[in-house]
Amino acid sequence: MPTITGVTVTDVRFPTSLELDGSDAMNPDCDYSAAYVVLETDGTAGDGAPLAGYGLTFTIGRGTDIVVEAATQQAALLVGRDTDAIARDMGGLYRDLTADSQLRWLGPEKGVVHLSLAAVMNAAWDLVARQAGKPLWRLLADLTPEQLVDVADLRYLSDVLTREDAVALLREREGGKAERLAELERRGYPVYTTSAGWLGYDDAKLRRLCQEAVDEGYSHVKLKVGANVDDDRRRLAIAREVIGPDRKLMIDANQVWDVPQAIEWVRALSDFDLHWIEEPTSPDDILGHAAIREALAPIGVATGEHCHNRVMFKQLIQAGSLDFLQLDTGRLASINEIVAVLLLAAHTGVKVCPHAGGVGLCEMVQHVSVLDYVAIGADLDGRVTEYVEHLHEHFTDPVEVRDDGEGPGYVVPSRPGYSTEMFPESVATYTFRDGAYWAGARAAAEDVAGAAS
């Protein structure tokens, strides 16, 4: 009967702005960051090491400290709890953490308090999977339909999906689980790459990275657009030339347009045979996405990385706003809310193509996509999950992408947990502001300032 004995929440920032990794039309300079939660216990894991849970939400620099403060307040409720009891009722833990009406006022279910809830609950999910000695996707796939629905937050969804609908769907999907898992173990979960197309890269680098994507077997390539339409046309021409006519080319505008402008701009790019336009406008604009989708078909609409909760996803589906649902494992409030969204999508036949990249999102998303195919959505047609090739070196159980002849795919995770543990040295080095990296950068900046004065 291990007990949670303590919590630490750390502001970890990687200086990615130096390389323009992650640059797009809305976010010109990101330091990819995480509010990183560690739940300590007095127990031991299966391998004899101390049992702990590691979780995070992804941020892009300033303000990570604000999320850390919120996560610290929420996580304090976990200290002293019995991990066996938590594991038996993760739905109950989630409800306890969301029941604080005073913190709820600051959302509700959105913004900082929802990001921080994700970090805390992600750590709790990692903990219970480690305690069970299973990768998280398997812990969840092994649950009965009723047990899986019990962890899902179905509140405010019953006009589209009732509890009975959800159980019936999961029961029906129990057939074929073993075959679908065997398929993923053979080929991996299909991925696409965004590594090529950041806005800050010059044409030569774009061309080289597109060629590398082709050489690595990718069938989808995505470019950031939206700063300048002529630049976009030039860059898309390069990408289409390099990847040829058969691979899929997607674009991502990161919310820079109003609705009429999105329609006009993407029409000006439509001769490049685009598979989807991602985040064409405000992530809150359900009806705007629906209008854009109707105007631009057959170009698909993809959105969701900033979609803040299941109620918004419900409506994006109801309004016919999207073709590709890009949920984010750091923005939705952990598996409890993600399973609800996967159920909504499966119930309505919407393609889930999760967002990833950033810090640790690929590590988490592989569990979500494997779970979706094995137990919930049970369909790979048109599904492809994002993969960005950076910062994995900081994780103890990093994603592995392999191509065994059917294109690159996430190798099905096999180690216990949610793959969200960072190396202690990485955390120590990049802790803001006093980790070795940031202390050194500050000292160097002061030296420069001193020399100049």
Which stretches of the chain bind a copy of itself, using CB under 8 A? Answer: 26-31, 59-63, 65-67, 69-70, 73, 100-115, 155-159, 255, 258-261, 281-288, 291, 306, 308-309, 311-312, 314-315, 318-319
* Pairing status of strand 300-303 against strand 4-13: unpaired
Query: What kind and span of H or E run contains 252?
Result: strand 248-252
Select 105 or 405, whichever has its Cβ closest to a copy of itself.
105
Rounded to 5°, angle at Cα 262 from 256 and 267: 135
Closest approach of Cβ 280 to a copy of itself, in Å?
Answer: 11
Closest approach of Cβ 24 to a copy of itself, in Å?
Answer: 9
Q: Let me know if 177 is a catalytic residue.
A: no
Beta bridge partners of 409: 190, 402
* Closest to 301 (Cα-Cα) out of 393, 227, 286, 309: 286
Other Cβ atoms less than 10 A from the Cβ of 222: the count is 25
Select 76 or 445, whichever has its Cβ closest to a copy of itself.
76
Q: Please state whether 173 falls in left (phi above 0), alpha (psi between -120 and 50) or beta.
A: alpha
Beta bridge partners of 7: 39
Which entry of 114, 355, 392, 394 is annotated as an active-site residue? Answer: 355
- Cis? peptide before 398, omega within 30° of 0: no
Decide if 41 contacts 4 (C-beta within 8 A). yes
Q: Please state whether 156 falls in left (phi above 0), alpha (psi between -120 and 50) or beta.
A: left
* Closest to 19 (Cα-Cα) out of 195, 191, 193, 192: 195
How many angstroms from the chain centroid is the CA of residue 251? 18
Q: Let me know if 248 is a catalytic residue.
A: no
Which entry of 114, 224, 347, 394 is annotated as an active-site residue? Answer: 224
CA 211, CA 196: separation in Å to the nearest integer? Answer: 9
Closest approach of Cβ 170 to a copy of itself, in Å?
Answer: 20
Closest approach of Cβ 14 to a copy of itself, in Å?
Answer: 13
Question: For residue 216, with 0-12 CB atoms within 10 Å meaning exposed, 13-18 middle and 19 or more buried, which class applies?
Answer: middle
Q: Which residue has the tokens 């300048």?
A: 228
Select 19 or 47, whichever has its Cβ closest to a copy of itself.
19
Select 40 or 69, whichever has its Cβ closest to a copy of itself.
69
Select 238 or 311, whichever has its Cβ closest to a copy of itself.
311
Per-position DSSP letters for 358-383, written without gaps between them: TTTHHHHHHHHHHHIIIIIS---TT-
Closest approach of Cβ 342 to a copy of itself, in Å?
Answer: 19
Residue 235, token pair as written in the block:
């860059």
Select 91 or 416, whichever has its Cβ closest to a copy of itself.
91
Closest approach of Cβ 344 to a copy of itself, in Å?
Answer: 13
Select 108 or 382, whichever has its Cβ closest to a copy of itself.
108
**Residues that are catalytic:** 224, 355
